[in-house]
Amino acid sequence: MMITYYLAGLLSGISVASFFIGKELYRFYIKNKIQKKKLDRLSRLNEKIKNSYSMDVVEM
């Protein structure tokens, strides 16, 4: 009977631990995805600024 309680406790402990680990990994994934989008947006804006600056220099 004790081995049954031990296995049930072990299984529930693993389940709870994997839930919290998965939750943290998902939070990291979302944060990383948002940061990547922001960096892509900034790099595109930077390229537009460089292109507009080079066009202004050529026109002068």
Q: Give residue 27's pLDDT.
A: 96
User: What is the domain partition of the chain in residue ranges?
Assistant: 25-60
Is pTM, for the whole model, over 0.75? Answer: no
Q: What is the mean pLDDT of the chain?
A: 90
CA angle, 9 then 22 then 8, to 5°: 10
Report long-range pairs for 48-55 (Cβ below 8 Å, ≥24 apart). Answer: none
Name the residue type at position 41. Answer: R
pLDDT at 48 over 70: yes
Alpha carbon distance 24, 29 (integer Å) = 9
Q: Give residue 57's pLDDT.
A: 61
Alpha carbon distance 58, 60 (integer Å) = 6
